[in-house]
Amino acid sequence: MTQEQTLAETVSLLQDLGLKEYEARCFLALSQVPSATAKEISELSEVPRTRVYDAVRVLEAQGLVEVHHSNPQTFRAVSDEEAASTLRQRYDDRIETLQTHLDDIELDDDESDERVQEVWSLTGHEGIESRTAELVEGASSEIVLLVVEEDILTDSLVERLRAATDRGVTVIVGGFTESIVARIESDLPGARAFETDLNWLVSGESGNEVAISRLLLVDRTRLLVSSFYPTDHADGGVSEQAVFANGLGNGVVVLIRRLISSGLLPGQDPAQ
């Protein structure tokens, strides 16, 4: 990545964290020098000088810039560590406020009942990883996980599964290969591991078919199934998609419970 690309991405990240473009560009300019006047900031950031004053005032109010009342006035950015801490706190505060507002919004009971029978889709690896983590962390009695792709068994997921066993949740993890099972037994001694024989989970010999990557059933009521889909990219890449269903009586959840049970060891059927 070139210096120009790094600067552009940094400005974009600062905007993602709540700064406007001119504010981000002025802060980035100040972070590269010990201090600067408005004219110097304008030259470094390519922000019009008349807009520099407004931008640095906002940055000062947010605790990101300090002002020396000389003639002319000079400005300097706070340390990288202090800026990161300030921005992180603002971000965390906004997330907490959002969560509070969302919790305060009541869901209509009729709509809630309808959702029990619905199936929702998720697209993108990060979103699917986040939902997987949420389901595992929210488990109260049982987790059944079938791992087809070993990359799915990340250190973060292993840690969450270990925490679940520590709080008394029954954790049953199936691997499609011996190597996956060996890792489960090594990293999750508190879980029950087995090698699944669900051959239909993987794609055909051509490698151009949809391939299931994970099946996660939590407390026998919450289900996540993710798949890798081949893309049209020249490099033969794949994208990840998933479906999520909720409810003990949800038809999809009932069906997958039975399919999962068909791949468990005889007499070891937690999904019924």
The pLDDT tens digits of the residues spanning 44-62 come to: 999 999 999 999 999 999 9
Contacts of 202 (CB under 8 A, 6+ apart): 148, 176, 211, 212
Other Cβ atoms closer than 10 A to 11: 19
- Give the CATH H-level superfamily of domain 118-261: Endonuclease Chain A (3.30.870.10)
Q: Confirm if 89 and 62 have CB atoms less than 8 A apart.
A: no
Q: For residue 67, give both structure tokens.
A: 């002002």
How are beta strands 192-195 and 170-175 bridged, if at all?
A: parallel
Q: What is the pLDDT of residue 267?
A: 46
Q: Confirm if 75 and 35 have CB atoms less than 8 A apart.
A: yes
Q: What is the DSSP letter of 24?
A: H
Phi first, then psi, for residue 223 (nearest 5°) are: -125, 135
Q: For residue 37, give both structure tokens.
A: 């006047």
Q: What is the pLDDT of residue 271?
A: 45
The pLDDT tens digits of the residues spanning 177-227 come to: 888 888 888 899 989 888 776 665 555 444 455 567 888 989 888 888 888
Q: What is the pLDDT of residue 107?
A: 56
Taking domain 3-99, whether its CATH number is 1.10.10.10 is answered by yes
**Sign of the dihedral defined by the CA atoms of residues 20, 26, 30, 35, in that order:** negative
Contacts of 217 (CB under 8 A, 6+ apart): 143, 144, 145, 223, 253, 256, 257, 260, 271
Q: Is 151 left (phi over 0), alpha (psi -120 to 50) or beta?
A: alpha
Residue 21's alpha-carbon distances to 51, 52, 93, 103, in angstroms, are 11, 11, 21, 32
Q: For residue 259, give both structure tokens.
A: 């399919």
For CATH 3.30.870.10, the residue range(s) in the chain are 118-261
Q: What is the DSSP letter of 73?
A: -
Q: What stretches in the chain show pLDDT beneath 70?
A: 106-118, 197-211, 229-238, 248-249, 251, 256, 259-272
Instruction: Tell me how far apart the alpha carbons of residues 21 and 13 are, in angstroms, rounded to a whole number.
Output: 10
Instruction: Tell me how far apart the alpha carbons of residues 24 and 105 are, in angstroms, rounded to a whole number.
Output: 34
Q: Name the amino acid, one letter, at 138.
A: G
Q: How far is CA 240 from the centre of its chain?
A: 13
Q: What is the pLDDT of residue 265?
A: 46
pTM of the model: 0.60
For CATH 1.10.10.10, the residue range(s) in the chain are 3-99
